[in-house]
Amino acid sequence: MTSTVVTGNGGVTANGRVAVVTGAGRGIGAATVLALAAEGWSVLAIDRAQDDPELPYGLATDVDLFGVVGEAAEVCGAAERVAVREADVRDLERLEEAVRDAERWWGGVDAAIACAGVIAGGAPQWEVPPERERTVLDVNLAGVLNLARAAVPALLRRPAPRSGRFLAVASAAATRGLPMLAAYCAAKAGVAGLIRALAVELGPTGVTANAVSPGSTATAILDESARLYGLGGAADFARQQPLGRLLEPGEIATVLAFLAGPGSSGMTGAILPVDGGLAL
């Protein structure tokens, strides 16, 4: 696929920190770009920005992605602090290029946040088409591995004492067995395991690894989940959470922004539930 970059003139980030965010076209990723921009970060927003032929629902578009970046530029009041790259998280080379771009434009990378995700299933695991199952695993787990491979070296290139952050979006599905969503559950459990391993591997470098584990959140993935289960709509999932409502993407993004900042300095290897009590 083609790769598109839009950037300003390498402006100085307001708080001195730089983030790359995947899955930035909509949902939790988009909300995270906005949350970071509001806190003074320079942000590179990354998304595939086109549909996948193996998935039966539409993904974020380039219009969505550029819309998020435009909104983030308004939030932070400086267009040069927000940039965009169209790239698939399954493409390691493109992710590495994106990270190098962020370093070149803004002087380094302080946080890498893996929000890209897809869902598919709707049948017992052995009946799901292998290509569709592979797409779920490759985006949701291999995509996070790829971002770590591309971004952790950049986080470590910051001079000591460092305060880098590698963050990912797991899911309540990492610990709950969800019927007809086996590959999704497996991928999210893998994300949780990866974060714990990275936390140990990064040890005293000053770079930490953490994740959030959302419950039912008002996103396109939840809409597709409702369709797969034959429900009337995503709102039907609200009753399974003690809060009695769906979460909003901004609620997840707020926690990711906290984890990206200095207040999380004592945390690593944590998988934080932001799930409306779903895991209780």
β-pairing verdict for 42-47 and 18-22: parallel
CB distance 43 to 33 below 8 Å:
yes
β-pairing verdict for 5-6 and 82-86: antiparallel
Query: Pick the catalytic residue: 105, 106, 184, 237?
Result: 184
Whether 57 sits among the annotated catalytic residues: the reply is no
CB distance 243 to 277 below 8 Å:
yes
CB distance 233 to 226 below 8 Å:
yes
Nearest to 150 by CA among 195, 199, 89, 107: 89
Residues 6+ apart with CB under 8 A from 73: 37, 79, 81, 82
Distance CA 12, CA 10 (A): 7
Tokens of 110: 């302080």
Give the CA distances from residue 264 to residues 58, 162, 189, 211, 269, in Å, rounded to whole numbers and listed in that order.
35, 13, 23, 12, 11
Angle at 187 between CA 184 and CA 190, to 5 degrees: 150
Nearest to 241 by CA among 213, 217, 270, 211: 217
Q: Which of the 8 DSSP states describes residue 160? A: S
Distance CA 203, CA 277 (A): 30
Residues annotated as catalytic (active site), given as ranges: 184
